[in-house]
Structure 1
Amino acid sequence: MSVTALTAPTEVQPYRRRWIALFVILAAEAMDLLDALVTAIAAPTIQRELGGSDSLVQWLGAGYTLAMAVGLITGGRLGDLYGRKRMFVIGALGFTTASLACGVSVSPEMLIAGRVLQGLFGAVMIPQGLGLIKEMFPPRELGKAFGMFGPVMAISSVGGPVLAGWLVDADFFGTGWRMIFLINLPIGLAAVLAGMRFLPEHRLSNATRLDIVGVLLVSVAAFLLVFPLIQGRELGWPAWTFVSMAASIAVFAVFGRYESRRAASGRDPLITPGLFRKRAFTGGLVAGLAFFSGLMGFGLVFSLYTQLGLGFTPLQAGLVGLPQALGGVVGFGLAMSGLQEKLGRGLLQIGTGVMAAGAAVLALTIHQAGLDVSGWQLSPGLALVGVGMGLTMAPFFDIVLAGVEPHESGSASGTLTAVQQLGGALGTAVLGTLFFNLLAGKWAFGAAMQVTVWVEAGLLALTFALSYLLPRRARPDGHGA
């Protein structure tokens, strides 16, 4: 596809200007990554001070990731249609405004609405940055530019929960938990102003129209699935919750049929239907759904266990999770040192095995120590989970996308990323509901946490089994990246 540059061509853009633009994009990426992590730490404090039922704790994460999942399917195409710089600025400004709405919320409903808006605007903002990098940097500098994302992800994963706990405990200006959202205001406004000043404008000359009907269908289907999973427990699982989940499957089927007919008529579909006829790609989607559901659900439940069960402060809870975050950095580093190219799919399988071993160590530690368990005792199991997580995630996307043709990679990568976010919403809903159900049934916190950990181990076993459907290696030409 040809690209019409509305500013100077990439090769003659000043070196300093494009690196400043990169840091603007990285700042936006950091905002998104931090906001995906911080509410798990702050959730118990938010519920205690703002009110609301246990479902509020789940919606703080699920509302964000569900909106992100739906928005990412079309976020990149908005940039193709209306210009990447313009949509980046709109996304960053909307994300910042939504953060302000979260920070001044006076009711659970207002906070959840703010989180949904954060997810939607984040889905508009993030894809533009990735596209702009490809346009701004010459081929010889692309690797270095994309390499900057690694440290940002590492710092965010390590520092996000600790930062959230520190901000809540410090209670700056009497803001308490609200500061985890208000801190986005200076960062977001700086990204907006710098984006307007330094980002180049690019737009595809042959961009196609949005598939609005497809977006509505997939949004309704996802909501019909997640809503009853979160609200059903508190309402006593009335009949409509099961009807809603069954209707979700039906709407997903209608969506698939609609996309097939749209493609057959020569119009551009939201998701290329032919992708779902590829066993490797479909298996990768299901594996990703299982993996990210377990990962995100475990993170929420572990935060609740440490604060509500063990009585840790938010800062202590963030610090207890550090071994997992640091283990993830180590796992990524090992993968990038050459193991990914050497082992391919095998590295993903080793990673899920290490994660499962870490989960088993964690469950046995909790069983033996009870509520007297310390953060140091939890560290070995969490560190193993983190190392396995890094080893699994490093090759995952390239391996899954190796099963698609180069001309399908855009649709495939968007779909895979959206499923990653949907998995986060499902994991928050399912594992959070399981945990609260066990507590309502008079289970001890330690016992409820152990059950959750073993469910996570089961999801890892499913991921391992499904990995045999994936290609053995990523594409050597890099089309899957």
Structure 2
Amino acid sequence: MTAADLTAQTSPPQTAPYRWRWAALFIVLAAEVMDMLDAMVTNIAAPTIRAELGGSAAIIQWLGAAYTLSMAVGLITGGRLGDIYGRKRMFLIGAAGFTIGSLLCAVAQGPELLVAARVVQGLFGSVMLPQGLGMIKEMFPPKEMQAAFGLFGPVMGLSSVGGPVLAGWLVDADFFGTGWRMIFLINLPLGLAAVLCGLRFLPESRSPHPLKLDVAGVLLASLAGLLIIFPLVQGREHDWPLWSFLMIAASIAVFALFGWYESRKAKAGGDPLVVPSLFRKRAFTGGLVTGLVFFSGMTGFALVFNLYTQIGLGYDALKAGLAMAPWSVGMVIGFGLAQPLQKYGRRLLHGGTLLMAAGVLGILVTLNIAGVGVSPWQLLPALLVTGAGMGLLMAPFFAIVLAGVEQHETGSASGTLTAIQQLGSAFGVALLGTVFFGMLGSGVAAAAGDAAPKLRAELAAVQVTGEHQERIVAGVRACTHDRAVAKDQEATPASCERLVADVGAAAPTPQAAEPIGRIVTRAAGEAAKQGFSTSMKAILWVVDGMLLLTFLVAFLLPKHAREEDQAGH
């Protein structure tokens, strides 16, 4: 559940229950499922998408970051649109736009068009999602409210478990020759049903005293987010030019400008996007930092792990989705275990963080023991523990962060917290994806260097010695490095073309070239796998470091969700 879910539970519903409230609830849940699936599916499908559409490694990062970044900036103001213009109307507009965005994703003929369509999905999704929660709190009487919101847990849990597996299955099944496009086409019947059923069953709903839109605030927040995400994703591919650092510095300045503008707007009696008084509360600001660090680490890890299993280990999309399933199952188990332990508050959150860190360490140990031949079964225990820790951590998080927020600040606080969750996801994809791809070339080259003695022995066994041998050994190292860092995976690096020529020159006859080629292909493949493994291990250390930082920053939070945040008074 998000912060917005908790906020929705704090407001009293209408005295007369709405007749079609349960039908309306399932329409809202369908919208939540569409969003959750689309936030995850490109992690599984990204290597296949890039192989078909082309583009650099940055495209893989943008497929996730474009969606979550646009969702983040839209969510802050999405709820206000429903308050002003009517929640049913904005839900239908959001659902229709999300469905159209899904269609645009499915028919995209180039990577840039696909990323643009992901932005459309994210923006309309941010209009759709807040409306459902606002309607639920008005439709259900108090005695049914808990049951209504209780359905979110199982539905979201099933989505998190089934999402990666469904994505992998759809990509591998290649229905009607659609391949990866089916992961977006599946939204069309869901979205159409949400719109048609919404017209019939959703109630008319709007706030009697809506806040005004803060358009300037939205633009400043959007610009600040883009200024930091764009250089993190694109800077590596351009060898970190001056403009990348200038953009990161500019993002800090724009965030500061945003804070000044919001404070000025509040003092003038306006309706700021984010209530400035929230940042005087230690629990809330600590929660924002905790959420930013945590969600950055987890979403970035999910992307890198899927790249490692598919590109590094050679898993197909379905096998990669199944390999990730234990993490999702563990998260559902963690949520279940956390329910009777809510009284422990911050200690439960800290315990979940430590359990996650132990699970990530377990993945690292598994990779060290099993090597490049690691199987999904070997990864299962550590991923299960990691997911369980994540469930224990997230279960009390939003309630604790909102503990010291005043009633009139709750809407702004929950919207900001949910937006930070999405912004952290975009930041994590950009940051950890960049670190992973940045280390990949040197990791592969180092692995090729370590395997050189074995390669020399195998070449000598087929009578390749002297200068020919050394040229091939050096060529394998150069080719694997250049292929790992290539901006265009379709193009063959010049070093690889030279290696092919060197293999031909080393063979006295055409028949002799075949065993030499097999040896070189095997050596290059093993070096690539080992390089991916080295980079993955480095990312695991980074993720554990981010979890340690999450543990420390969480001390800023109150001990229990029911406690008042004295620092804000």
TM-score normalised by structure 1 residue count: 0.96
Q: Deviations over 1:102-135 (max 9, x none)?
A: 0000001110001011010000000000000001
Q: Which amino acid aligns with 1:270?
A: L
Secondary structure of the equivalent of 1:11? Answer: coil
Structure 2 counterpart of 1:267, which letter?
G
1:218 to 194, 216, 221: 221
Which residue matches 1:355?
356
| Matched residue SS, 2:108 | coil
Please list the CA deviations of residues 142-166 of structure 1 after superposition, one character each: whole Å capped at 9, or x if unmatched. Answer: 0000001001110110000000000
Structure 1 CA distance for aligned equivalents of residues 350 and 214 of structure 2: 37
> Take 1:474 and 1:169, find their aligned partners in 2: how far apart are those partners?
45
Rounded to whole Å, the distance in 1 between the matches of 2:169 and 2:442 is: 33
Q: Tell me how far apart the structure 2 counterparts of residues 339 and 437 of structure 1 sit (CA, whole Å).
A: 41
SS at match of 1:205: coil
Q: What is the aligned partner in structure 2 of residue 448 from structure 1?
A: 535
Where 1:13 maps in the other structure, the secondary structure is coil
State how 1:165-244 maps to structure 2 within 5 Å. 165-244=168-247
Q: Distance in 2 between matches of 1:296 and 1:270?
A: 26
Give 5+ residue unaligned stretches, structure 2.
1-12, 445-530, 565-569
Q: Does the aligned pair in 2 maintain the 1:259–1:272 contact within 8 Å?
A: yes
> What are the within-5 Å matches in structure 2 for residues 16-165 of structure 1?
17-165=20-168
Deviation string for 1:402-460 (max 9, x for gaps)?
Answer: 02122211111110000000000000000000110111223411110001011110110
What SS is found at the alignment partner of 1:467? Answer: helix
Distance in 1, matches of 2:123 and 2:34, equals: 14
Aligned to 1:472: 559
1:411 paired residue number: 412
1-structure distance, mates of 2:94, 2:395: 27
Whole-angstrom CA distance in 1 between matches of 2:393 and 2:89: 35
For residues 316-465 of structure 1, the aligned pairs below 5 Å read 316-336=319-339, 338-340=340-342, 342-443=343-444, 444-465=531-552
Relative distance call for 1:400 and 1:12 in structure 2 (3 A) is closer
Task: Please tell me whether the aligned partners of residues 232 and 431 of structure 2 are also in contact (alpha carbons under 8 angstroms).
Answer: yes
State the alpha-carbon separation in 2 of the partners of residues 354 and 43 from structure 1.
29
- Asked if 2 retains the 8 angstrom alpha-carbon contact of 1:76 and 1:128, the reply is yes
- Distance (whole Å) between structure 2 residues aligned to residue 307 and residue 220 of structure 1: 34
Give deviations 1:249-285, integer Å, cap 9, x for gaps: 0000000000000000001110000111111111110
Q: Which residue of 2 aligns with 1:271?
A: 274
Cα RMSD (Å): 1.2
8 A Cα contact 1:403 1:470, kept in partner: no
Equivalent residue letter for 1:41: I
- State how far apart, in whole Å, the 1-side matches of 2:215 and 2:540 are: 40
| Structure 1 residues 446 and 274, CA gap change in structure 2 (3 angstroms) | same
Aligned AA (1:369)? A
SS at match of 1:106: coil
Given that 2:55 and 2:111 are in contact with CA atoms closer than 8 Å, whether structure 1 keeps it comes out as yes
Structure-1 separation of matches of 2:546 and 2:417 = 18
Counterpart AA for 1:11:
A
Aligned to 1:11: 16
Query: How far apart in 2 are the matches of 1:268 and 1:40?
Result: 37
251, 254, 267: which is aligned to 1:251? 254
Work out the CA distance in 1 between the residues paired with 2:257 and 2:28: 37
Inter-CA distance 447–402: structure 2 relative to 1 (3 Å threshold): same
The question of whether the paired residues in 1 share the 8 Å contact of 2:404 and 2:563 is answered with no
- Secondary structure at the counterpart of residue 441 of structure 1: helix
Aligned to 1:255, the other structure's residue is in SS state helix
Distance in 2 of aligned mates of 1:346 and 1:318: 32
SS of 2:206's equivalent in the other structure is strand
The CA deviation at 1:10 is 5.8
Amino acid in structure 2 at the alignment position of 1:472: K
Change in 2 beyond 3 A, CA 1:469/1:476: closer
1:357 to 1:12, Cα distance in 2 relative to 1, 3 A: closer
Q: Is the 8 A contact 2:171 2:183 kept in 1?
A: yes
Q: Provide the identity percentage.
A: 65
Q: Distance in 2 between matches of 1:234 and 1:152?
A: 39
* 8 A Cα contact 2:443 2:534, kept in partner: no
Paired residues, number? 466
Following superposition, the deviation at residue 11 of structure 1 comes to 1.3
Q: Which residue of 2 aligns with 1:5?
A: none
Compare CA radii of gyration and give the structure with the larger one.
2
| 1:134-192 Cα shifts (integer Å, max 9, x gaps) | 01111110000000100111011000000000000000000000000000000000000
- What CA deviation, in whole Å up to 9, does each residue of 1:275-329 have, x standing for no partner? 1111111111001000000000000000000000110000000001111111001
1:475 offset after TM fit, Å?
2.4
Counterpart AA for 2:419: A
Deviation at 1:209, TM superposition (A): 1.5
Asked whether the equivalents of residues 443 and 532 of structure 2 are also in contact (C-alpha less than 8 Å), the reply is no
SS at match of 2:209: coil
